[in-house]
């Protein structure tokens, strides 16, 4: 790139990065509100909460980056055009393509970043997030008992604890087990904590008592300093994590295992997700072309370009809404997947055709500069 092209590229890159960071911060705030129950209900640490929140970022970036490019390019290009820096570029002999080339290169770089995220980063992060959510949901300390509530992890087991601290220590706990052959066993303990021994979950109770009522009606009472209760018979150890469509890699989407009933039932949706990940980066180029058309697609105006920018912004929003509608329709019909590529490509073609509709001529250049052809008097 020439010096002036590098200058234009830097003028666009800075606002794009700032807009992306701002939108990412808003998206993370919204995402964090949705996962706040992980800390409140599941009693997880702030580290787990932050990890799950940030693992959702790659998919959000796919929607954020085109919007950031559009907004940032409008701001940067409007400032450059208002301060007549772009006008000077045209007056200096630069073609329209050379002027917009830095913007196209920035959009192409964003397309490459989005494509890499869609192909590899998103499925990896979503799989990691799914594993983390599965570990949280199957956390024994969180699923077995809730503070101040009687919970039943199985039909023959009832557990209660007055309070639970961040270390997982339960205070003033109660446990009742109904025996299959009849009778029951009741435990009272001042403290309890869930741990693992030989890979199996156990409940360690301290400073308590044990009351056992046999089938014949005989009551046995025992005090203990420490008692270990095996939880393995009451826990579902066969539950497996299930990866959703958004968690799958590209080869898993295109070539599903048709021997599995779930993948047979969702084959069309998986193919739609495959094409969505390939086509969505095209919106970066489409939105950049829209921004270029909004600012330098018409004649120079000293009154500003608010009306034209508002019109193009409305067209851009309409294009993205149509894109979402097409993506949803493709979940039911695989033949519509071609439209996922057609929508951003048609939007790009329209914006660039509007941008280059004026022929390169001296009069056209003068109209772009907002000047009239000067009157020259020849002296002989």
CB-neighbour burial class of residue 198 (10 A; exposed 0-12, middle 13-18, buried 19+): exposed
Residue 244 structure tokens? 């959703």
On whether the CB atoms of residues 66 and 113 are closer than 8 A, the answer is: no
- The whole-number pLDDT of residue 93 equals 86
| Dist. CA 343–CA 351, nearest whole Å | 12
Residue 259 structure tokens? 């021997």
pTM for the predicted model, two decimal places: 0.78
On whether the CB atoms of residues 239 and 138 are closer than 8 A, the answer is: yes
On whether the CB atoms of residues 68 and 13 are closer than 8 A, the answer is: no
Work out the end-to-end distance of the chain between its first and last CA atoms, rounded to an integer number of angstroms: 45
DSSP run (H or E) holding 299: none
Using a pLDDT cut of 90, give the percent of the chain over it. 46
Read off the pLDDT of residues 292-308 as tens digits, 9 standing for 90 and up: 999 888 666 666 678 88
CB-neighbour burial class of residue 236 (10 A; exposed 0-12, middle 13-18, buried 19+): exposed
Nearest to 118 by CA among 242, 24, 247, 243: 247
Q: Could you give the 3-state DSSP secondary structure of residue 370?
A: coil
| Dist. CA 87–CA 80, nearest whole Å | 9
Grade residue 39 by pLDDT with cuts at 50, 70 and 90.
Answer: low
Q: Check pLDDT > 80 for residue 257.
A: yes
Grade residue 239 by pLDDT with cuts at 50, 70 and 90.
Answer: low
């Amino acid at each position: 790139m020439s010096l002036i092209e590098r200058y234009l590229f830097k003028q666009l890159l800075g606002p794009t990065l700032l807009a992306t960071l701002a939108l990412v911060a808003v998206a993370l705030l919204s995402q964090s509100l949705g996962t706040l129950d992980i800390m409140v209900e599941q009693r997880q640490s702030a580290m787990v909460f932050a990890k799950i929140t940030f693992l959702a970022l790659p998919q959000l970036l796919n929607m954020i980056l085109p919007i950031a490019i559009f907004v940032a390019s409008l701001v940067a290009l409007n400032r450059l055009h208002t301060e007549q820096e772009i006008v000077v570029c045209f007056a200096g002999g630069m073609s329209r393509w050379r002027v917009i080339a830095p913007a196209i290169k920035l959009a192409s770089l964003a397309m490459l970043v989005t494509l890499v995220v869609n192909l590899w980063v998103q499925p990896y992060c979503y799989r990691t997030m799914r594993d983390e959510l599965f570990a949280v949901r199957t956390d024994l300390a969180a699923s077995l008992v809730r503070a101040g509530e009687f919970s039943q992890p199985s039909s023959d087991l009832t557990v209660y604890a007055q309070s639970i601290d961040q270390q997982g220590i339960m205070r003033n706990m109660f446990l009742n087990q109904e025996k299959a052959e009849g009778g029951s066993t009741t435990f009272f303990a001042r403290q309890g904590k869930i741990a693992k021994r030989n890979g199996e979950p156990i409940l360690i109770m301290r400073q308590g008592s044990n009351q056992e009522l046999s089938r014949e009606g005989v009551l046995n009472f025992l005090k203990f300093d420490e008692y270990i209760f095996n939880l393995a018979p009451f826990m579902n150890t066969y539950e497996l994590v299930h990866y959703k469509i958004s968690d799958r890699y590209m080869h898993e989407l295109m070539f599903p295992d048709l021997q599995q009933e779930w993948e047979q039932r969702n084959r069309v949706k998986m193919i739609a997700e495959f094409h969505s990940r390939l086509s969505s980066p095209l919106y970066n180029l489409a939105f950049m072309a829209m921004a270029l058309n909004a600012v330098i697609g018409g004649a120079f105006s000293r009154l500003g370009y608010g009306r034209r920018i508002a019109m193009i912004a409305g067209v851009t929003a309409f294009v993205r809404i149509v894109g979402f509608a097409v993506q949803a329709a493709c979940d039911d019909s695989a033949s519509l997947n071609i439209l996922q590529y057609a929508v951003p490509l048609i939007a790009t073609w329209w914006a660039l055709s509007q941008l280059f509709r004026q022929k390169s001529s001296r009069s056209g250049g003068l109209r772009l500069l907002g000047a009239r052809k000067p009157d020259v008097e020849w002296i002989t």
